[in-house]
Chains A and B, each alone.
Chain A
Amino acid sequence: MFAEAAVSILTLFGAAFVLIGSIGLVRLPDFMTRLHGPTKSTTLGVGSIVMASLVHSSVTAGSLSLRELVISVFLFITAPVSAHVLSKAARKMPRNREEKTGP
């Protein structure tokens, strides 16, 4: 019962943050600001969903399942790298669209 509640709350919380990240991608004004959506909201969003999975599989299997923890570690390592590469590429591109904060 307690585990079910924890899994539901974590899943909903995570889903809400992934949704907010996507809304950010649509609403924010230019490329650089759009980068903030996916690097922030998805790390916590996907992180919570992964934690929900950890609680769920640990309870159903009756033993601690740590594979999800590994997923979140890799997620936290790779998110800044992809943001970094994207922004570096953006700085090399010609400026041909409206930018609030130009490269």
Chain B
Amino acid sequence: MMRLVPQPFLSLAIFGLWLALTGTFGAGQAILGVVLGIAIPLLTQRFWPDRPRLKKPGAALRLFLRVIGDIIIANLQVARLVLGPTARLRPALVEMPIDIEDPLVAAILGSIISLTPGTVSIDIDFERRHILVHALDVADKAALIATIKSSYEAPLKDIFQC
């Protein structure tokens, strides 16, 4: 079983994506979806020499919902900053140290940072183990780093156990 479906979550995602794309739930498309869900992970195996494993799907779902919620809040905050007096903004570059062991997980963290409250990840320097973050309005750099670490980095480390 492990041989045929090495990445069960990727297979499920491809299957779901295929059904959503075709927009039909007939047996034919379902079979094609299953075939793709099995074939694509097998064919792309070599691109992932030591891929991170999703250890806690439940925690992943919780993080996903939290990120969606934060995106909505972030948009309202950024909207207020954009429409308010721009001279009062305190933009800053913040170097955030990371202790994630896996480049792919670090990239996921970078993407989450870009999608949420007033922050964009500019550079993920995996050798020096930090992410350069640009924030639109920072009062306290240390507090910003602490927030990102506790709300996104800790759950990611927990999900992938790395």
Residues on A facing B (Cβ under 8 Å): 17, 20-21, 23-24, 27-30, 32-33, 35-37, 39-41, 43-44, 65-67, 69-70, 73, 76-77, 79-81, 83-84, 87-88, 91, 100-101
Distance, CA A91 to CA B93, complexed state (A): 12
Residue-wise interface mask of B (67-101) relative to A, using a CB-CB cutoff of 8 A (1 in contact, 0 not): 00001101100110011001001011100000000
A80 touching B111 by the CB < 8 A rule? yes
A87 touching B134 by the CB < 8 A rule? yes
Most buried by A among B82, B86, B118: B82
Interface size of B in residues (CB-CB distance below 8 Å): 32
Chain B residues with CB under 8 A of A73: 17
Least CB separation from B13: chain A residue? A73
Does B139 touch A at the CB level, under 8 Å? no
Least CB separation from A44: chain B residue? B75
Contact A80 B110, CB 8 Å, known A66-B19, A70-B21:
yes
B78 touching A100 by the CB < 8 A rule? no
Chain A residues with CB under 8 A of B74: 40
Contact A28 B111, CB 8 Å, known A17-B75, A65-B23, A84-B122:
no
Residues on B facing A (Cβ under 8 Å): 17, 19-21, 23, 71-72, 74-75, 78-79, 82-83, 86, 89, 91-93, 110-115, 118, 120-124, 134, 136
Distance, CA A27 to CA B79, complexed state (A): 12
A101 touching B115 by the CB < 8 A rule? no
B91 touching A33 by the CB < 8 A rule? yes
A9 smallest CB distance to B (angstroms): 14
Contact A66 B120, CB 8 Å, known A36-B78, A80-B110, A81-B111:
no
Distance, CA A28 to CA B78, complexed state (A): 11
Chain B residues with CB under 8 A of A88: 122-123
27 A-B pairs in the complex with CB atoms less than 8 angstroms apart: A17-B79, A20-B79, A24-B82, A27-B86, A32-B91, A32-B93, A32-B120, A33-B89, A35-B120, A36-B78, A39-B115, A39-B120, A40-B71, A40-B75, A44-B71, A66-B19, A67-B20, A67-B21, A67-B23, A77-B111, A80-B113, A84-B114, A84-B122, A84-B124, A87-B120, A88-B123, A101-B92
- Complex partner residue of A40 from B20, B78, B112, CB under 8 angstroms: B78
